[in-house]
Every structure is written in C-alpha cells, then in structure tokens.
Amino acid sequence: MDALPQVRRTDGQLADGRAITYYDRPDAPVRSATDLRTDLSVATSSELRWDALVGEWVVVAGHRQERTYHPRASACPLCPSTSDQWTEIPERDYQVAVFENRFPALTATTSAVPSAAGFDAPDGIAGGRCEVVCYSDRHDASAADLDPDRMTLVLQTWIDRTEVLRRDPHVQSILVFENRGREIGVTLDHPHGQIYAYPFVGPRDRAIAERVRTYRERHGRDLHADLIAAEVRSGERVVVADPHWVAFVPFAARWPFHVRIYPLRPVADLTELQPDEISSFAPLYLSVLRALDAVFGRSMPLIAAWHQGATHGDRTGSHAFMEISGWRRGPDRLKYLAGSESAGGVWISDVPAERSAAMLREALIT
C-alpha cells in the first residue's frame, strides 16, 4: 500500500472575519497573503422554519437574493487575487482553498423561528455552516479536467473538512456536494464544490437511515451491503469498479444519468476512509465524470453529493456513498422536475437504468 501524498493545511482569515483554509501539497508556496478588502459587508441573517405539514426544516435566507450571479470571468470571486482585483482568495495562486460562504444559508447564528402556534418542531436546532471548496485556481477547469493528484487533494480536503465540522456540537449532518452547469442554475463557472453542515439530518438521509434500520430489524442484514452485492452480482448496471470502489446506476434510477459510487468497505463517513481507498478514488471518479461528459459529447449538468452518516449518535448501518445526478436526457434536452416529481414526490424516469449504464460504459472506453 503506497503512502498517501501529504497535505499542508494553512488556516487564515478573510477581511470580514470569515475563515479561509488552504490545502496544498508540501512543495507549494507558503500561504500568508492578507485580505485587504475594506468593502465587505453582508447581512447573513438566516433562520430555520419548521414545515409542520410535511415535518421538515426549511432554511430561509433572504440575504441570498443578493448573491453573486454570473459574474464576468474577470470578476470571478473564486480566482486568485491579482494586483488589480481582490477576490475571495487573497493568494496569487492556490491548489485547493476552502472558505466560509459569503452568502451562507447557514451560520453559527442561524436559529429556529418558533412557528406561531408551535407545531411540534424539534427543540434545540440551531447553527450550521456553509463552505465553498475551490478545486483549482484555473477558472476554466472542471472537476473532470483535474489530474488525479489534485482530485485526491480535493478528497483529502473533503475528509479534513468533515473531521473539522463534525466536532461542532450543533452540526448533525454534513453534505459535501458539487453543482455543475448553468443549465441547472450554477451561477459561478469556476470549478468548485460546497459543504453544508446542517444542524439537523435532512429528509433524504433520514429516509435512508429509517430504511436501513427497518431492513436490519426484518432481515438482520445491512441494506447498503445487500444492494451493493446485488448490483455487483448482476453487473448490468455497473459502470466501473476497482478493488475498493464500485460505481453503478441504481436499479430505480431517478435522473437520466444517475450514478452511486460506494466504497466497498462500509464507512460511516469520509473520515473513516483508509489510504488505499483514498488513493484509488480519484481515477475512478474522474473516469465516471468524463464518461458523463462523453455520453452526449458535451458537459453533463450534474449534482454530485456525498451522503454521510449523522455526525452524532448511533451510526450503526451508516454507509457513506456518493450520488451523482446527471440531468441531460438527450443532446439538447434536460430532465425537469414537473408536477409528479415536484408536487407529488414521485419520480418519472425516461431512461431505464440499464440503458444509461450501458451508455456510460461505452463512453468510458472511447
């Protein structure tokens, strides 16, 4: 087992007090630039409202209406700073940089609004944090363009952020994700992802935990493990696999190109990954991203997200995995969430899982 390349972490602060952290390979320049901006001011009030009818929290963040919206490339806030232009990243170059979102949905001061008549909203829910993870100082790179070492550094960054954020007693779950593509509303082209540390467990992860628990009670077995085993045994929906990871289109795929990437060994969250798992992730993940772009010969609008076990309490049966939703259903057609999906929560899929898996496998080797 090869040793993992080392990471040098440098913690700093932006002019308005937000944290910035650089993740570099050890031979990178020292990170010591000071943010000299004097014009930063943002109201970051946000609040949690309990949707009593459905039993879910909604984050209300009115200040986000003012967030940066499709800036010119020369005004990109995620590029390194230059002598002419201060950005969110004071350094003149960087490898991976993480900072607190200037327009965060959640902050340490986010609190729950008691609904008028008190409708059984859970008590003591407050806080949270939103971070931006910049993958490269090159504005026009995409995650699929990163070299494997940089992608590994990004994974090492996700792991460290998960480790840091889960120490916050208010944080109950951590979603590491990337949105890609103007077609699905991405307002900054620079290659980056985000991390939302929620002060609750979201409905999707709650549903999964509930299913895992029920399955264990009924069968004495692990649902994730049995689903993975069934996919590997059948093979018809597997896109790519290696000794540590498997990527497949799930049997009941929702999006036109829907891929789950699982570490074969169950880990509750990214912090439990071992060195050989970490180093083999990047080549596999990059090959999936490139296949997604190759399917229609153009960039696939997508959301890629790590589902991780709840940060506190019982993590039995948690099995972290990445879920990628690719929204293009044809060269010029997107999947939209219409009445059935949006109002009813019932997904209508136009592309059977076996077909999209075959298209992705074919795109892998071209």
Binding to a copy of itself (CB under 8 A) within 304-363 occurs at: 305, 307, 323, 325, 329-330, 333-340, 342-353, 355
Task: Compute the least distance from the CB of residue 118 to a copy of itself, in Å.
Answer: 10
CA distance 295 to 229: 27
Q: Structure tokens of 340?
A: 């059935």
Q: Structure tokens of 55?
A: 């039993």
Q: What is the DSSP letter of 273?
A: -
Residues 238-257 that bind a copy of itself (CB under 8 A): 250-254
Task: Compute the least distance from the CB of residue 148 to a copy of itself, in Å.
Answer: 24
Q: Structure tokens of 292?
A: 């997604």
Q: Structure tokens of 239?
A: 């896109």
In the bound state with a copy of itself, the residue whose beta carbon lies nearer, of 30 and 54, is: 54
- What are the CB-based long-range contacts (under 8 Å, 24+) for 352-358? 352/253, 353/237, 353/249, 353/250, 353/251, 353/252, 353/253, 353/258, 354/236, 354/237, 354/249, 356/249, 356/253, 356/256, 356/257, 356/258, 357/236, 357/237, 357/238, 357/239, 357/248, 357/249
- 299 near a copy of itself, judged by CB under 8 A: no
Size of the site for a copy of itself (CB under 8 A): 86
Q: Are 348 and 340 in contact (CB under 8 A)?
A: yes
Task: Compute the least distance from the CB of residue 324 to a copy of itself, in Å.
Answer: 9
Among 4, 42, 60, 126, binds a copy of itself (CB under 8 A): 60
Catalytic residue among 192, 244, 258, 319: 192
Task: Compute the least distance from the CB of residue 4 to a copy of itself, in Å.
Answer: 27
Residues 20-59 that bind a copy of itself (CB under 8 A): 49-59
SS3 label, residue 233: helix
In the bound state with a copy of itself, the residue whose beta carbon lies nearer, of 186 and 268, is: 186
Is 244 among the residues known to form the active site? no
- 122 near a copy of itself, judged by CB under 8 A: no
Task: Compute the least distance from the CB of residue 85 to a copy of itself, in Å.
Answer: 25
Q: What is the DSSP letter of 30?
A: P
State the alpha helices, DSSP H only, in 92-242. 148-165, 203-219, 223-234
- 226 near a copy of itself, judged by CB under 8 A: yes
Other Cβ atoms closer than 10 A to 131 = 24
Q: Structure tokens of 324?
A: 């990628």
Query: What is the Rg, in whole angstroms, of the alpha carbon atoms belonging to the chain?
Result: 21
Contact string 89-118 vs a copy of itself (x = CB under 8 A): ----------------x---------xxx-
Task: Compute the least distance from the CB of residue 165 to a copy of itself, in Å.
Answer: 15
Contact string 178-217 vs a copy of itself (x = CB under 8 A): xx----xxx-------x-x-x---xxxx-xx-xx--xx--
Catalytic residues: 192
